């Protein structure tokens, strides 16, 4: 058809309060069929000026006749003429494609010109570096030969030099190789954070095997699943976890040998490292929507590329002291352990209680000269709240970077951080285990945030290509949101023993010339901004993150459904108090089961035996039936606000101190009353609420109390005994807030 595109500026728009802001009108009157048939015999596209008026920001009118006229009217205060012209040209491109290839599915109609398509596909490419692969073990060994007496790792038991670290790693490599461990195999490591874990991983790497981290604090059933699915036939553990390791090995169903680590001796002649580019480095299991965790496999090349990206983007050097505070089952623990060691720097390892306590964590950063720290936004918020409450800030003279990861970073946290530390930039890191950890970095300075007032997930790291595609895997125009796909060296090997899930998430890269190239669908909706940075829009599936931990609600629901008395279960994330996200489970009794038979405390214990603590709901609500929408789906808005436990049934306070503590427990947990026997975590508490409670106790009672004390004694009665035994007057944290 002859199509005329008319563009009209519309001034003095009435504010639009309608449910829509764009109108498409097809004015098919009067049209004589014979004239219309003549009009469709040729195709001419023309852009013509015109004038009109409209009360909508965008009004598209189609007027058929001897020629088809498309009139686009827009508000210039909302759209630029250039943007509307681009939109119009895309519309004409689509119409031409439909006319020429009418059988093409709508989703596959290209809305980009050839030059635009090429530009979009190449816009989000990280710096290409094809340097020869060098394994992390070889790199750290070179450092150890240059500076054998330099401190490599510091934990709560003291310092470990480079020579000791690599000698003990070498001894373990030789030990593993002697039993047949090698390329393509996986080794489980059941250990707490520390120097021993670091040399254990290096020892596994030296044997050409990969490792699977197991958490001693996780349910044994969870660790058994990891060991069984991975096919590992060797489990390394510390002496203190030996009994637990034997129980896990016995329950895994295979012949798993348990080896005690920690007694390795220094070796004069180090075991030769022969790792190759695509040997497996590690597998970290994440929550799975099918009810079973999935183990993402990361190869050596992907790990090395990510380590080098951290070194480059954070400008790391031998003078850096990096904090290793991430859980060992969290992918960011890998770079925290090894990036600085590749250069001759130092890592400071802290245990899980220090990592969960922002006051103690930042105290260590200040006292020990840590230069790089990485936290999740929820912990950063807890730290900022703590400093507000105590009206004190820690001095951080050597901290060069605060890396933030694991959750969307709100602009309000940037603003609060820069108000206190304008000279310390933030790095918003974004990625996933399936892609060897981070795929993009955004450096945010106080000046940059002050000028732009926005937070992005940045640009791709080295050797990573990012695509923003529609559902038909076609690139979307600049500025339009779409699904984010990752390609390049960081893309992992898939999921252990799960070909269907691997095939669904790791697909062929149609835009690469490299044989066998694949891309991974991140599951996030993003857009590319004019400056080339990516903006996170929303999550596209039911995966959520709680305090930085990635989980699938479906896995918790399936676990609950295995309870003999549960008929239906639904788990949601509620944020009834701003900034406090909690998992809440709603359960319906099975046929013939009374509501009273479902005891929330018993269900909590049931789930705790199967899932790690961050996946255990804070509250369990028993319903006669789940509320549904008219189309039969779960009506999440109709789910009732939970009561976090039947509290106050235990003993009342016996002293003024216990009375104060009961009040503080209730205040932080958001309940009416707490007895001295009610458990903090059983009432819906979690690590960040624990931080808030400890801060309130310090402020009100003027005593020093740690999160470790609360973890070990989570009731008022137990905590009072700790305070009586070890309570001391609180010392100032640092400089006063001006």
pLDDT tens for each residue of 136-170: 999 999 999 999 999 999 999 999 999 999 999 99
Residue 730: pLDDT band with limits 50, 70, 90: very low
Q: What angle do CA 281, 287, 293 make, to 5 degrees?
A: 70
* Number of other CB atoms surrounding residue 573 within 10 Å: 15
- From CA 329, how far away is CA 191, in angstroms rounded? 11
pLDDT for 30 equals 59
79's CB contacts (< 8 A; 6+ apart) are: 57, 58
pLDDT for 273 equals 81
- From CA 548, how far away is CA 530, in angstroms rounded? 29
Query: pLDDT digit string (tens) for 466-495?
Result: 999 998 899 998 888 999 999 999 999 999
pLDDT for 297 equals 96
> What's the whole-number mean pLDDT along residues 539-563?
79
Q: Which two tokens stand for residue 175?
A: 């030990």
Spatial CA neighbour of 426 closest among 507, 482, 372, 366: 372
Please report, for the chain, how many H helices and E strands are present, in that order: 22, 33
Angle 553-561/600-608 helices, nearest 10 degrees?
A: 110
Q: Which pairs from 315-319 meet CB under 8 Å and 24+ separation? A: 316/340, 316/343, 316/345, 316/372, 317/343, 317/345, 318/343, 318/344, 318/345, 319/345, 319/371
Buried (b) or exposed (e) across 122-155, using 16+ Cβ within 10 A? ebbbbeeeeeeeebbbbbbbebbeeeeebbbbbb
Q: Which two tokens stand for residue 118?
A: 């090429």
- From CA 721, how far away is CA 729, in angstroms rounded? 16
Q: pTM to 2 decimals?
A: 0.82
Q: Which two tokens stand for residue 605?
A: 């214990």
User: What distance, in Å, lies between the first and last C-alpha atoms of the chain?
Assistant: 70
pLDDT for 58 equals 80
Angle 377-390/411-420 helices, nearest 10 degrees?
A: 40
Could you give the dihedral angle defined by the CA atoms of residues 438, 440, 446 and 448, in that order, rounded to the nearest 10 degrees? Answer: 180
Beta-bridged to residue 207, according to DSSP, are: none
Half-sphere exposure at residue 435, Cβ-oriented, CA atoms within 13 angstroms: 26
**Average model confidence (pLDDT) across the chain:** 86
> What's the whole-number mean pLDDT along residues 363-391?
91
Q: Is the predicted pLDDT of residue 666 greater than 50, yes or no?
A: yes
- From CA 648, how far away is CA 493, in angstroms rounded? 52
Query: pLDDT digit string (tens) for 678-690?
Result: 888 877 787 778 8
- From CA 643, how far away is CA 574, in angstroms rounded? 12
- From CA 504, how far away is CA 482, in angstroms rounded? 18
Query: pLDDT digit string (tens) for 226-248?
Result: 999 999 999 999 999 999 999 99
> What percentage of the chain reaches a pLDDT higher than 70?
89
3-class SS of residue 556: helix
> What's the whole-number mean pLDDT along residues 99-121?
85
Half-sphere exposure at residue 432, Cβ-oriented, CA atoms within 13 angstroms: 26
pLDDT for 631 equals 76
SS3 content of the chain, % helix, strand, coil (to 5): 35, 25, 40
Residue 36: pLDDT band with limits 50, 70, 90: very low
> What's the whole-number mean pLDDT along residues 212-225?
94
Region for 406 from its dihedrals, namely left if φ exceeds 0, alpha if ψ lies in -120 to 50, beta otherwise: left
* Number of other CB atoms surrounding residue 78 within 10 Å: 14
pLDDT for 421 equals 97
Query: pLDDT digit string (tens) for 521-534?
Result: 998 999 999 899 99
- From CA 518, how far away is CA 295, in angstroms rounded? 18
Beta-bridged to residue 526, according to DSSP, are: 482, 536
301's CB contacts (< 8 A; 6+ apart) are: 133, 277, 278, 489
Q: Which two tokens stand for residue 44?
A: 């001419």
> What's the whole-number mean pLDDT along residues 252-266?
86
8 A C-beta contact, residue 232 and residue 204: no
Sign of the torsion formed by the C-alpha atoms of 479, 375, 321 and 430: negative
Residue 189: pLDDT band with limits 50, 70, 90: very high
Query: pLDDT digit string (tens) for 578-616?
Result: 767 788 899 999 888 888 888 888 888 898 888 888 888
Residue 47: pLDDT band with limits 50, 70, 90: very low
- From CA 21, how far away is CA 445, in angstroms rounded? 36
Least confidently predicted of 8-22, 187-201, 293-307: 8-22
Q: Is the predicted pLDDT of residue 277 greater than 80, yes or no?
A: yes
- From CA 345, how far away is CA 471, in angstroms rounded? 45
The H or E element containing residue 502 is helix 499-505
């Amino acid at each position: 058809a002859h199509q005329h595109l008319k563009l009209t500026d519309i001034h003095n728009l009435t504010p639009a309060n309608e449910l829509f802001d764009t109108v498409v009108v097809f004015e098919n009157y009067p049209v004589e069929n014979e004239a219309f048939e003549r009009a469709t015999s040729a195709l001419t596209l023309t852009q013509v000026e015109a004038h009109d008026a409209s009360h909508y920001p965008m009004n598209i009118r189609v007027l058929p006749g001897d020629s088809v006229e498309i009139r686009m009217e827009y508000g210039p205060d909302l759209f630029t003429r250039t943007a509307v012209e681009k939109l119009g040209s895309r519309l004409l491109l689509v119409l031409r494609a439909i006319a020429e290839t009418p059988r093409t599915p709508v989703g596959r109609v290209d809305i980009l010109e050839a030059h635009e398509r090429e530009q979009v596909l190449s816009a989000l490419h990280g710096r290409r570096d094809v340097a020869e692969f060098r394994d992390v073990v070889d790199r750290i060994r070179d450092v150890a030969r240059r500076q054998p007496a330099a401190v490599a790792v510091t934990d709560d038991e003291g310092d470990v030099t480079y020579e000791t670290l690599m000698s003990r790693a070498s001894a373990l490599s030789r030990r593993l190789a002697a039993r047949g461990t090698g390329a393509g195999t996986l080794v489980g490591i059941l250990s707490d954070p520390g120097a021993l874990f670091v040399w254990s991983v290096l020892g596994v790497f030296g044997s050409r095997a990969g490792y699977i981290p197991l958490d001693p604090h996780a349910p044994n059933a969870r660790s058994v699943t990891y060991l069984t699915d991975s096919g590992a036939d060797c489990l390394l553990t510390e002496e203190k976890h030996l009994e637990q390791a034997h129980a896990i090995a016995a329950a895994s169903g295979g012949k798993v040998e348990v080896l005690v680590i920690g007694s390795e001796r220094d070796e004069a002649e180090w075991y030769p490292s022969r790792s190759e580019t695509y040997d497996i480095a590690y597998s970290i299991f994440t929550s799975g929507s099918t009810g079973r965790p999935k183990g993402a496999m990361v190869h050596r090349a992907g790990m090395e590329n990510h380590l080098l990206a951290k070194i480059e983007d954070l400008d790391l050097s031998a003078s850096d002291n990096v904090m290793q505070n991430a859980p060992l089952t969290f992918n960011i623990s890998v770079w925290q352990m090894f990036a600085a060691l590749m250069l001759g720097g130092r890592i400071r390892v802290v245990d899980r209680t220090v990592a969960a306590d922002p006051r103690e964590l930042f105290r260590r950063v200040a006292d020990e000269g840590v230069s790089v720290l990485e936290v999740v936004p929820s912990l950063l918020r807890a730290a900022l709240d703590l400093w507000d409450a105590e009206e004190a800030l820690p001095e951080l003279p050597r901290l060069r970077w605060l890396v933030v990861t694991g959750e969307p970073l709100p602009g309000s946290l940037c603003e609060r951080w820069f108000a206190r530390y304008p000279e310390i930039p933030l790095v918003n890191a974004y990625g996933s285990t399936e892609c060897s950890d981070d795929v993009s970095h955004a450096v945010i300075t106080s000046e940059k945030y002050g000028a732009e007032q926005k937070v992005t997930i940045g640009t791709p790291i080295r050797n990573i290509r990012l695509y923003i595609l529609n559902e038909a895997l076609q690139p979307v125009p600049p500025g339009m949101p779409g699904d984010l796909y990752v390609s390049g060296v960081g893309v992992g090997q898939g999921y252990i023993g799960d070909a269907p899930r691997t095939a669904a998430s790791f697909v062929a890269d149609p835009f690469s010339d490299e044989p066998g190239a694949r891309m991974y669908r991140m599951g996030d909706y993003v857009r590319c901004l004019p400056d080339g940075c990516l903006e996170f829009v929303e999550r596209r599936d039911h995966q959520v993150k709680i305090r930085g931990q990635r989980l699938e609600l479906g896995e918790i629901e399936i676990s609950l459904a295995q309870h003999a008395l549960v008929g239906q279960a639904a788990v949601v994330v509620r944020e009834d108090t701003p900034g406090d996200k909690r998992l809440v489970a709603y359960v319906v009794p099975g046929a013939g089961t009374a509501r009273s038979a479902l005891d929330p405390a018993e269900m909590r214990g049931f789930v705790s035996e199967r899932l790690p603590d961050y996946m255990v709901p804070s509250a369990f609500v028993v319903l006669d039936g789940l509320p549904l929408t008219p189309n039969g789906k779960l009506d999440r808005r109709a789910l009732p606000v939970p009561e976090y436990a039947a509290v106050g049934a235990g003993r009342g306070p016996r002293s003024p101190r216990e009375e104060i503590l009961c009040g503080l427990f209730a205040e932080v947990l958001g309940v009416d009353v707490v007895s001295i026997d009610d458990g903090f975590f059983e009432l819906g508490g979690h690590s960040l609420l624990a931080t808030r409670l400890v801060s309130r106790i310090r402020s009100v009672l003027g005593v020093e109390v740690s999160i470790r004390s609360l973890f070990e004694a989570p009731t008022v009665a137990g905590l009072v005994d700790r305070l009586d035994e070890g309570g001391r007057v609180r010392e100032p944290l640092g400089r006063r807030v001006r």
